[in-house]
Structure 1
Amino acid sequence: MNIKLAQCFIAVDDHDKALTFYRDVLGLEVRNDVSFEGMRWLTVGSPGQPGVEIVLEPPLADPNASEADRKAVAELLAKGLLRGVNFTTDDVDATFERVREAGGDVLQEPIDQPYGVRDCAFRDPAGNMLRFSAAG
């Protein structure tokens, strides 16, 4: 059996801000931009991983959701409690500087973890945690 990751999903509350961050700051390529029933989905991915994509989706992709549900999900997203993504990079410190200079919300500066990995962490414009660790 050969199982591979194809897509992961991140909720964003502003697709234009997310697009600027993931495309222009992180350097991911846009693979899809789809609208349906007033909602939008953007698919981005690393040029070096053509088979893996991140889908930037509405916080609650259900046109029939109640206003209370929409509010609850928006609050969780604002607190950064919905999802996160871990990336690898060949230079944690350079990645940190690039994201920080672009206005990224720093959660953790680069540090050598006791378990042997150097990493740093940010929140994207929607509040999702993104961790960048040294490629092994």
Structure 2
Amino acid sequence: MSEDKQSNNEFTEKRTTDSSMRRVKKKRIRKFPFIILIFVVILAIIIGYCVHGYHSGIDYAKDHGKTLKAHKFNGASKNDGKITIMVLGADKEQGGISRTDSIMIAQYDYIHKKMKMMSVMRDIYADIPGSGQHKINSAYSIGGP
């Protein structure tokens, strides 16, 4: 009889541990969708914050940004399949003097689909018509557009 009780107790213990294991697994399975939901909500909040920041930055730039001035082209035109552009990066100081920080010359050959680009050092001395020899970066403030 004692053997029957012992085997019965073992069976009961095994059954109890199996049922408690099943409960733990069920709890884990029930928690999984909530964890996924929380992750998706946090991800949506982060994406929404980034999109809002991007759009508010664009709006701020539109409201507070500078407008570009169109300058009339006074140079000679050639019909050789190339276009040459000078790109100036100008910085205005407190006194109202504007100097170019960067000077680049770009040429695009639209027949052969090739691009050439050259950077001009701003400390090169050059003859500026009507003003004599100066550093090339001061040419913009002397007589630029």
TM score, norm. by length of structure 2: 0.21
Specify which structure has the higher proportion of strand: 1
TM score, norm. by length of structure 1: 0.21
Specify which structure has the higher proportion of helix: 2
